[in-house]
């Protein structure tokens, strides 16, 4: 059976008009699906209203205990539950989750090397419980994950939403024909970063090596694409990178943006 | 099959030692179970840190849009997810929920008569979807509900936790042999409110009428007991009112506190 794992980030969440359009399109998308969302700017705004300063060490963001409290409130409470209520309005039977719920995603607190990142969780091949998640899918629920996991010992952990989406897709690829979709602000991978009409519609590993040699892939896209091809190597059928407002195209032509495939 | 619906309030939530003991006992409780929790003082504290003043009209608390945002963060995020993480630690496969998740509890925004209570939801006999909730129970998940519902049209609503617990118990009584448990600060219904040794261990409707005539039931207990007997009339097998730290007694002697029964 087909399964979509779809990740949206701050650019969708921070604009309520974009978010509503996206949730309506997501609800209308046929087939099994999982949504993963990041946090957007709201956590930063609420932290600052609460007088909690962003902690940075060597330019890297640190999740101290105060910040963890705020992201638990904002990601798992405010953002997640309002999304769920909207999806219900559009007749999609969503359930809002963190990795702690159902023990679906268990992480390890990032070990302290040169930087102590605080309450940040890293995932490995054993983190996701696909059989447990499939019980929700089988019962016609749509899991909506925010960017939080737990350590199994009572501690919530802040975890990158891209990483969660990719770990879910790889793990569930054992049971479903899985497409991982990263929604971002551009149409997809562009030949010319300033020209939205220069979309590359399809990339396989061979073409990717070429694009890297020709320096067509921008620095910022490299880690995204490396991760995408790692997911494909680990069993994910395809990865799509494209704009959230083109997601609806999946219902008619079964793809949009740039599609990454193993061949 | 037996099902416990257990409600805890602020007196348990606000004391982290009490809360931990309770969650450990709840995790160890044998059989199917659902937890419903109120908010405690944390929402008030965070509101006040955010500069949001409590709105009161004629002494009644109003849930304006700002307050709704805070309770969505605090109830569904901070309190609910930390409880879930603790329950997972004690090997109870909890899933943290609002009524919006899975469309489990749909409420109606309270109509404005003399007072506009704001974003407050009232429940009726059609609010709870027992078949949907039983899918989670069948899959060995433990639902943990906070005091929030939705209107089905995208709006979250603040809803009394006692009412949610009672509506869940009544509705699930169609499918399970349901015991509703209200944990509160006293040992149960007391003959003498100042004497914890004067516990009345069992009350049936006849005895209840007597107790009311003799003015033994205190003013504060009346609505609780009226609601409890309503639940019993609607199919709930029994209602227990007792202390959270005596919940563990259920595993050995199958009751504690005051037990209310139909006969």
Is residue B141 pLDDT above 90, yes or no?
yes
Distance, in Å, from the CA atom of A19 to the CA atom of A52, rounded to the nearest integer, reads 27
Residue B180 β-bridge partners: B5, B239
| pLDDT tens profile B39-86 | 888 999 999 999 998 888 877 889 999 999 999 999 999 999 999 999
Residues of A in contact with B79 (CB under 8 A): none
Dmax over Cα atoms in chain B, in whole Å? 51
> CA-nearest residue of chain B to A98?
B81
Which of A46, A52, A71, A73 is the best residue to mutate to test the B interface, defined by the most B CB atoms within 10 Å of its own CB? A73
The two structure tokens encoding residue A72: 């638990």
- Structure confidence by residue, pLDDT tens digits, A54-82: 888 877 889 999 999 999 999 999 999 99
Q: Which residues contact B209 (CB under 8 A, 6 or more apart)?
A: none
**Nearest Cβ partner for A154 among B73, B85, B156:** B85
% helix, strand, coil for chain B, step of 5? 40, 25, 35
What confidence score (pLDDT) does residue A254 get?
81
Alpha-carbon gap, residue B145 to B75, rounded angstroms: 9
Report the CATH number at residue B34: 3.40.1160.10
B11 reaches A (C-beta below 8 A): no
Quick one: DSSP state of residue B179? E
* A181, A138 contact by CB (below 8 A): no
Between A and B, how many CB-CB pairs are < 8 A?
131
Apex CA A145: angle with CA A75 and CA B9, to 5°?
Answer: 60
| Coil, helix or strand at residue A167 | helix
Q: Which of the four pLDDT bands, split at 50, 70 and 90, describes residue B24?
A: very high
> Residue A149 has what pLDDT?
98
pLDDT score of A161 more than 80 = yes
Contact A85 B50 (CB under 8 A): no
d(C-alpha A50, C-alpha A238), whole Å: 42
Yes or no, beta carbons of B82 and A156 under 8 Å apart: yes
> Residue A129 is part of which domain span?
2-261
- Which one of A80, A88, A135 has the shortest CB-CB distance to B139? A135
Residue with tokens 């509890």: B105
| Tens of pLDDT, residues A186-221 | 899 999 888 989 999 999 999 999 999 998 888 878
Subunit contact B81:A98, Cβ cutoff 8 A: yes
Element (H, E) at A223: helix A221-233
Chain B hits for A148, Cβ within 8 Å:
81
User: Does pLDDT of A107 surpass 80?
Assistant: yes
Domain count along chain B = 1
Q: Does B200 touch chain A (CB under 8 A)?
A: no
Residue in the structure block whose two tokens are 């609806």: A248
Which residues 143-182 of A have a C-beta within 8 angstroms of B? 148, 150, 152-156
B135 contact residues in A (CB cutoff 8 A):
139, 141
Distant-in-sequence, close-in-space partners of A35: CB < 8 Å, separation ≥ 6: A6, A7, A8, A26, A83, A94, A142, A143, A144, A145
In chain B, pLDDT over 70 holds for what percent of residues?
Answer: 100
Upper half-sphere CA count for residue B206 (Cβ side, 13 Å): 1
Cβ–Cβ under 8 Å, residues B33 and B64: no
- Which tokens sit at A29? 């998308």
* Chain A residues with beta carbon closer than 8 angstroms to that of B75: 77
Q: How far apart are CA B165 and CA B179, in angstroms?
A: 11
Is B97 in the A-facing interface, judged by CB distances under 8 Å? Answer: yes
Per-position DSSP letters for B136-152, written without gaps between them:
HHHTT-EEEE-SEEE-S
Position A116 scores a pLDDT of 94
Which residues on adjacent β-strands are paired with residue A179?
A: A4, A238
Chain A residue closest to B47 (CA)? A50
Please, which residues have CB within 8 angstroms of residue B53's CB and are 6 or more apart in sequence? B47
Minimal CA separation from B203 to chain A, in Å? 38
Quick check: A86 and B46 CB within 8 A? no
């Amino acid at each position: 059976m087909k399964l979509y794992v779809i990740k949206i980030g701050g650019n969708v969440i921070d604009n309520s008009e974009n978010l509503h359009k996206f949730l309506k399109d997501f609800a209308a998308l046929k087939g099994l699906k999982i949504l993963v969302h990041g946090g957007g700017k709201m956590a930063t705004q609420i932290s600052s209203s609460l007088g909690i300063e962003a902690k940075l060490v060597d330019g890297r963001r640190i999740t101290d205990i105060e910040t963890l409290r705020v992201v638990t409130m904002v990601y798992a409470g405010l953002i997640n539950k309002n999304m769920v209520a909207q999806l219900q309005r559009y007749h999609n039977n969503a359930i809002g989750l963190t990795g702690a719920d159902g023990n679906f995603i268990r992480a390890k607190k990032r070990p302290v090397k040169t930087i102590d990142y605080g309450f940040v969780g890293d995932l490995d091949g054993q983190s996701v419980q696909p059989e447990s998640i499939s019980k929700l899918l089988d019962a016609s629920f749509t899991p909506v994950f925010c960017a939080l996991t737990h350590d199994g010992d009572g501690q919530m952990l802040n975890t990158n939403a891209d990483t969660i989406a990719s770990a879910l897709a790889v793990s569930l690829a054992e049971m479903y024909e899985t497409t991982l979709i990263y929604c971002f602000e551009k149409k997809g991978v562009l030949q010319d970063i300033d020209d939205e009409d220069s979309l590359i519609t399809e990339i396989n590993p061979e073409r990717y090596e070429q694009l890297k040699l020709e320096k067509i892939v921008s620095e910022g896209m490299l880690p995204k694409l490396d991760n995408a091809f790692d997911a494909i190597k680990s069993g994910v059928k395809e990865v799509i990178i494209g704009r959230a407002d083109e997601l609806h195209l999946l219902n008619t032509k079964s793809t949009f943006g740039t599609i990454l495939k193993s061949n």
